[in-house]
Amino acid sequence: MEKILTPFDGLFILQTNNFQDNRGGFQKLFNFDFFKENGLDCEFKELYYSVNKKNVVRGMHFQLPPFDHTKVVYVSNGRIKDVVVDIRKNSATYGQSFNIELDDQKGQYLYIPKGFAHGFKTLEDGSIVNYAQTSCYDREHDCGIDAMSVGFDWGLENPIRSGRDLTFPSLKDFDSPFSL
């Protein structure tokens, strides 16, 4: 495994080895010792996955303190454009977005620290997105920002979105409790 820096403090791309042979492929996605040696939070409490149609936009999701969490995201089938926005008020990158294409071949996934909103756009039907989080879901602290307000060009006129995601405030109207 390799930890790749991004321009955002605490946000990393994690590169795994994608072993391929006549049977198919194999990837090791998590190694406790690697996470500990690299100062990465690895006390995961919940695992999720979503199966998505093409042109779905999910996000921008996070949980408020004290139920905020670090999250890792990877794709086990298909392709997505993964997007995070720094919502830590005193961060040099506050309000800025980072994006990366994740798929089931490159062996990359994203390590997202507390204080980032997360979302994605699916690029293929049947894309499966997996998440591991360091806190359990808490309905009272579940939150989000309108994905269309974060300054990222999703490249879609009519994305498929949930009713819940449509209710989120814009980034400029969100009073963030997060800081570095």
Here the tokens at position 28 are 């090791």
- Whether 141 sits among the annotated catalytic residues: the reply is no
Tell me the two tokens of residue 55.
């042109």
Length of the chain: 180
Q: Are the C-beta atoms of residues 73 and 109 closer than 8 Å to each other?
A: yes
Catalytic residue among 61, 69, 74, 111: 61
61 is catalytic: yes
Residue tagged active-site, from 74, 109, 131, 141? 131
Pairing of strands 12-15, 18-21: unpaired
Q: Which helix (DSSP H) or strand (DSSP E) does residue 101 occupy?
A: strand 97-103
The residues assigned a catalytic role are: 61, 131
